[in-house]
Structure 1
Amino acid sequence: MQTLTDNALMLEVKSGDIQKLGLLYERHKKRLFGFFYNMNSDAALSEDLVQNVFVRMLKYKHTYTGDGSFVAWMFKTARNVNYDHYKKNKKQHNSYNLESVAYKLDNGENAELVMIQNDDISNLKIAMSKMDPEKREILLLSKFKEIKFSQIGEIIGCSEGAAKVKAHRALKELKGIFQQLETR
């Protein structure tokens, strides 16, 4: 059996075959969870927000046109769910848990290298937490989720070029904050 594209699956959901939303959920739940977890550092909340994205996709399936990228449409929905959650709960979503990024080292690594890597990871997490949520979001989408700039432009409502500029500026700001942390 031929595998259906995300666009084709969502068009089938739009036409009434809501069972296909389950396939989309299975394909994208980890990616969305990672996005939310990197934004709020709360696993339970991230799981809830992923569910809310698919509920909202089902509720607004009639708005899906099939033009453009499904992933961009999905992440635009995810951004709106994230924004609505924090607006409703009037929470500051600028927190970033320092334990949120896991990594593994081989047993053969020496202790000094491990300490340097720990410091770098800690400084990166701290630097990310000091950034404006919109800039952190751009970096998460472009660098960690590896979404194309044309799709990021669709997600945040700007051109591909503007998305590149925003990502470049956010990366430059992150670099500056990171360097300040290293000099302490």
Structure 2
Amino acid sequence: MIKVSQGDLDMMRMLFDRYHLKIFNFLLKMTRDRVISQDITQEVFYKAIKYKTSYKNGKFSSWIFTIARNVFSDHYQKSKSSPKRLDDFEYKTMSEETDHIEQNEVKQQLDQALNQLSDSDRELVIMNRYQGIKYNEIAEIVGSTEGAVKTKVHRAIHKLKGYYLQNA
């Protein structure tokens, strides 16, 4: 990323290849919508290039996930205030039915339990357990301490377990 920030944009291809699936999967778990996740992933890498000079030699994964969180948050705020169209609901219903057929029962129950978590708890669980991001990196991403993140993840996992057992 240092080379990208100095103007060598060809190096961004390597970073994109390495991180786009992780970012996409994180966003997919957050949005539960493949198309929106693809759009937001593109926006994340666009912003990474646009704001390349703001990169300050830290851990790249923390920096790119911070951008992803911010873009997701921006999208969520915009979608909350915009009116919903009927065809959006029809499309979402069709895709949910298709997904429902393809998923096995355990995954469905886990997804249901995950959706019952608050946005912040779900985000922590996804980053730590699904994306494999370490506590210290999550702390940097969310602007907290490593100890606080460990505690929050532990509590979120405990809640997730309770929700999962209720749905089973």
For normalisation by structure 1, the TM-score amounts to: 0.77
Percent identity over the alignment is: 35
Q: 1:151 — aligned with what?
A: 137
Q: Aligned partner of 1:53: which letter?
A: V
Distance of 2:118 and 2:71 partners within structure 1 = 18
Matching of residue 39 in structure 1 with residue 30 in structure 2: yes
Match of 2:144, SS state, is: coil
Give the alignment of 1:65-84 within 5 angstroms. Answer: 65-67=56-58, 69-84=59-74
Structure 1: gaps of 5 or more residues? 1-9, 104-117
TM-score of the two chains, using structure 2 as the length reference: 0.84
Flag the structure with higher helix content. Answer: 2
Match of 1:90 in 2: 80
User: What residue number does 1:132 align with?
Assistant: 118
One-letter amino acid of the counterpart of residue 76, structure 2: Y
3-state SS of the aligned residue for 1:81? helix
Q: 2-side partners of 1:16 and 1:78: how far apart?
A: 22
Q: Secondary structure at the match of 1:163?
A: helix
Residues 57-110 of structure 1, C-alpha deviation per residue, up to 9 Å, x if partnerless? Answer: 11211111112x11011101100010011112216xxx9x6838x77xxxxxxx
Q: Which residue of 1 aligns with 2:146?
A: 160
Instruction: Give the number of the structure whose alpha-carbon radius of gyration is greater.
Output: 1
Gaps of 5+ in 2: 82-91
Aligned residues: 154
State whether structure 2 residue 20 is matched by structure 1 residue 26: no
